[in-house]
């Protein structure tokens, strides 16, 4: 499958490494805003970002500030973008976007997806990720992604009254030790290299009954999922290390996949001479023994629930299987109450359809009814995660003729 139409900011290539810093700006449309006004404002924003990539900002005309730190910008369209006043010939909301996260229940949170064990925090009455536009910034410095947020605000401020407003801003950064806040290695359970593109990119929507023909324009794009997850470290640190390893499915110190309990056993099938000491990828079926050989407790671990390793015909993942390409960024957030901070993960994934992730979150045997991993019995389940925001965004393909990716969604096809 060709990858030339994917937007930048998706680091799936063999030589790609996600840079150290991330920010996400979520924009809402003003009440009654016309799609044309939104499009004109996005054009201004897109031009601003191209200047940022060259190290220039609008308030310092003629001055090059500092290296732009390989800033990359990705634009996504949320469901509210398709509810704007748009031309009649503009593309309809993709059928795939019928799959979405649940909205929070005021006062009680409620699950982010049907039968999901992850719930919104109780004080979340409106989902901040229910936004018209998502802008993802990634770069090698904190300044680069933070400057992009500030310059976004400047453009909107100068356009006041603007058709778009900042609804939420989230930031994060990669840890240099490749671990997460629960102290285990993070990332090794992601997709193997040759599986990534078929999972990420939207395939041709050619169904025999023609039901997906209306979405053919999305081919070559992808869907971005975003969940702002908080991690409660108190119950996690109260667990013995052996229990932590059972829940994760890896050894804590070296990150080796577990096959039995106790003691940890590393099968020869896990060896990868090219891993340079890094933990191997569970997602590569050739490196993993069949799941039937796993200890029953480990079959319920996080990495086993989140990554089923049955080989696909020809080594290619079927689009509707629950496979996603993760690209998360941890964060630390100041807090007024003791201990003065909270930690969590900006969960980012790319998939050919939102159903891949929602299916994983609700399907029994995957992550259905599970907050992190382990038993689903409420009396014994370990609850570590809660959500602040959760949203899906179509990341339109790039065709080189638009002012910004997905322009025709707002303005209709160009006139012949």
Tens of pLDDT, residues 129-145: 999 999 999 999 999 99
- pLDDT per position as a tens digit, 304-327: 888 775 444 344 434 447 889 999
* Poorest-pLDDT segment among 91-95, 259-263, 320-324, 333-337: 259-263
Q: Which residue has the higher pLDDT, 358 or 296?
A: 358
Read off the pLDDT of each residue in 185-209 and give the average, rounded to a whole number.
79
pLDDT over 90 percentage in the chain:
65
CB 304 within 8 A of CB 327: no
Q: Is the pLDDT score of 203 beyond 80?
A: yes
Read off the pLDDT of each residue in 277-293 and give the average, rounded to a whole number.
56
Read off the pLDDT of each residue in 330-353 and give the average, rounded to a whole number.
96
Q: What's residue 266's pLDDT?
A: 47
Distance CA 128, CA 110 (A): 15
322 DSSP assignment: S
CB 348 within 8 A of CB 136: yes
Q: What's residue 270's pLDDT?
A: 42
Q: What's residue 277's pLDDT?
A: 57
Q: What's residue 404's pLDDT?
A: 97
Q: What's residue 317's pLDDT?
A: 39
Residue 178 backbone zone (phi > 0: left; psi -120 to 50: alpha; other: beta): left
Sign of CA dihedral 314, 196, 250, 248: negative
Distance CA 175, CA 295 (A): 31
Strands, E assignment, 30-186: 72-77, 133-139, 164-173
Spatial neighbors of 192 by CB under 8 A, at least 6 apart, are 281, 283, 284
Sign of CA dihedral 402, 406, 410, 414: positive
Q: Is the pLDDT score of 153 beyond 80?
A: yes
Read off the pLDDT of each residue in 81-94 and give the average, rounded to a whole number.
95
Q: Is the pLDDT score of 395 beyond 90?
A: yes
Q: What's residue 328's pLDDT?
A: 93
Q: What's residue 140's pLDDT?
A: 96
Read off the pLDDT of each residue in 274-291 and give the average, rounded to a whole number.
55
Q: What is the mean pLDDT of the chain?
A: 87
Spatial neighbors of 156 by CB under 8 A, at least 6 apart, are 41, 162, 164, 165, 166
* pLDDT range class, residue 74, cuts 50, 70, 90: very high
Q: What's residue 190's pLDDT?
A: 75
Distance CA 384, CA 236 (A): 7
* Poorest-pLDDT segment among 23-37, 60-74, 307-321: 307-321
Q: What's residue 311's pLDDT?
A: 42
Read off the pLDDT of each residue in 90-111 and give the average, rounded to a whole number.
93
Short-list 234, 226, 231, CA closest to 343:
231
What is the three-class DSSP state of 132?
coil
Beta bridge partners of 23: 137, 171
Distance CA 151, CA 116 (A): 37
Q: What's residue 363's pLDDT?
A: 87
CB 372 within 8 A of CB 385: yes
């Amino acid at each position: 499958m060709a990858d030339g139409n994917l937007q930048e900011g998706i680091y799936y290539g063999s030589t790609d490494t996600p840079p150290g810093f991330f920010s996400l700006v979520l924009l809402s449309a003003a009440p009654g805003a016309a799609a044309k006004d939104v499009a004109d404002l996005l054009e201004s924003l897109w031009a601003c970002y191209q200047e940022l990539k060259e190290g220039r900002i609008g308030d310092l005309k003629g001055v090059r500030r500092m290296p732009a730190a390989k800033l990359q910008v990705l634009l996504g369209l949320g469901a509210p973008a398709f509810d704007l006043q748009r031309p009649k010939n503009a593309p309809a909301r993709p059928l795939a976007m019928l799959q979405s996260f649940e909205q929070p229940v005021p006062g009680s949170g409620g699950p982010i997806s049907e039968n999901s064990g992850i719930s919104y925090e109780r004080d979340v009455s409106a989902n901040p990720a229910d936004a018209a536009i998502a802008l993802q910034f990634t770069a090698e410095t904190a300044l680069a992604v933070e400057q992009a947020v500030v310059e976004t605000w400047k453009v909107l401020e100068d356009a006041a009254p603007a058709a778009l407003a900042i609804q939420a801003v989230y930031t994060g950064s990669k840890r240099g030790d490749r671990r997460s806040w629960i102290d285990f290695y993070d990332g090794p359970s992601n997709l193997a290299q040759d599986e990534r593109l078929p999972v990420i990119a939207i395939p041709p929507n050619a169904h025999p009954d023609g039901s997906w023909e209306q979405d053919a324009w999305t081919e070559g794009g992808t869907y971005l999922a975003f969940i702002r997850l908080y991690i409660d470290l108190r119950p996690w640190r109260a667990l013995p290390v052996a229990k932590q390893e059972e829940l994760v499915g890896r050894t804590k110190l070296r990150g080796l996949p577990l096959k039995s309990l106790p003691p940890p056993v590393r099968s020869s099938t896990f060896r990868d001479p090219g891993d340079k000491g890094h933990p191997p990828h569970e997602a590569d079926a050739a490196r993993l023994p069949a799941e039937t050989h796993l200890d029953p407790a480990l079959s319920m671990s996080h990495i086993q629930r989140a990554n089923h390793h049955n080989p696909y015909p020809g080594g290619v993942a079927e689009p509707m299987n629950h496979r996603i390409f993760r690209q998360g960024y941890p964060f630390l957030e100041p807090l007024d109450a003791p201990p003065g901070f909270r930690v969590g993960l900006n969960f980012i994934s790319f998939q050919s359809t939102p159903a891949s992730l929602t299916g994983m979150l609700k399907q029994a045997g995957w992550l259905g009814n599970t907050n992190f991993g382990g038993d689903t019995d409420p009396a014994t389940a370990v609850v570590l995660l809660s959500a602040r925001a959760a949203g899906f965004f179509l990341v339109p393909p790039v065709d080189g003729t638009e002012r910004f990716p997905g322009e025709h969604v707002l303005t209709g096809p160009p006139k012949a």
